[in-house]
A and B are shown apart, each in its own frame.
Chain A
């Protein structure tokens, strides 16, 4: 090969590589919401507290067991193992340095809806913004108000233990193009208010589908099989299906499921305490009964 030909091949490769990097950077660019999408809103902290329990936020944002004090504050850091790697969830207390103390309302909504940090980086979807995006903005702001009212705890962030973490994190932008469309969930007018409330809580803040819905090969939730059960994310058994709960004799009816949420094993309901659901049940038990009834009505209705 002549030297000129070498040079041409080299130049072509350089152009292709540059174009590839450029395309990657463009396609993975974070897509934050517009500041105008965050209305001025008088936050309702008690609603925020209910949402905090409905989402079982503490279950994942707990401190590591060894540093856990008497108060259950969501200061983060407890390892969250997944097949992709281990994550160390964010400190949700309002500590200005290490928590969400300096986050604006817009920062918080961007995190919840778009999975983007205040510094403009992608969150890994172990933080289930794919569900939280269904939350109404007022609810997101109420949740923020509740978190801001907690006692601040210093708990520095810790980078995820994932292969090529910087590149992979940026690559989440590609995944978001598949998994994070602009679909919104309109209420179903043929159903009652409680059913719609239940669906809203299950699909949004409750993020039940993140474990109970199977994923396709691209790790995107397989919506036609929503809540039909899936392999456990930690590879230990099967996350049960939430469909046909009565037909499959898991629960008698919606009030029976409400009792299971409220009392779990105390009332002999032994199905809610495996694979991490036990903590979630304890969190759900703190919800007002009307909210639990709504969730149960929706779930029991699933064929």
Chain B
């Protein structure tokens, strides 16, 4: 007889594990993991942006497929970004340049990220070279707006 308890058991094991992981993450006294994760994400965005910048600078030819792929990478990263700044992750064992305003002005922070994500998403459907520069300009403006408001200057 197939025990109806099995799925329940599996579910409870999973739930316990998930809870454990979650509480471990929450009880982490420093934001080290979150800081590392978001810095990796930012690097991923930077690399994708580099590919787009190469086209803008004329170092690489315009290729709608490359544009769409890189813009998609950026949009995907930005979609995850807000979650990488959980409460309490303003300090950690690695240096962070995140400003306290991220947590004190959360609505503004998420709005700005959202605007950046929209700009990246819009960029995904650029097929004409003429539309590329303006779309990249809009995305760049959003990157800049968020950095100016929420990132401390660093050497």
Contact = CB atoms under 8 A, between A and B. Distances in A.
Question: Which secondary structure dominates where chain B touches chain A?
Answer: helix
A241 B49 CA distance: 25
Interface in B103-150: 136-137, 139-141, 143-144, 147-148
Contacts of B139: 266
**A interface residue count range (under 10 / 10 to 19 / 20 to 34 / 35 or more):** 20 to 34
A265 B151 contact: no
Contact of B57 (A238, A259, A273): A259
A98 to B, nearest CB: 29
Contact of B148 (A229, A237, A263, A274): A274
Nearest to A256: B57
Contact of B56 (A267, A270, A274): A267
Given A267-B57, A268-B46, A274 B97 contact: yes
Interface string A263-283: 111111010011111110000
A232 to B, nearest CB: 6
Contacts of B99: 236
B152 A265 contact: no
A274 B154 contact: yes
A202 interface: no
Contact of A268 (B52, B141, B152, B155): B52
B4 interface: no
**B interface residue count range (under 10 / 10 to 19 / 20 to 34 / 35 or more):** 20 to 34
A274 B147 contact: yes
A273 B136 CA distance: 16
A239 interface: yes
Contact of A237 (B52, B136, B143, B154): B154
Given A237-B97, A278-B147, A278-B148, A266 B154 contact: no
A273 B152 contact: no
B57 to A, nearest CB: 6
A273 to B, nearest CB: 4
Interface string A216-255: 0000000000000100100011111100000000000000
Contact of B144 (A238, A240, A265): A265
28 contacts: A229-B155, A232-B152, A236-B153, A237-B153, A238-B153, A238-B154, A239-B153, A239-B155, A240-B153, A240-B154, A240-B155, A263-B56, A264-B140, A266-B56, A266-B140, A266-B141, A267-B56, A267-B57, A268-B46, A268-B52, A268-B140, A270-B46, A270-B143, A273-B151, A274-B97, A274-B154, A278-B147, A279-B148
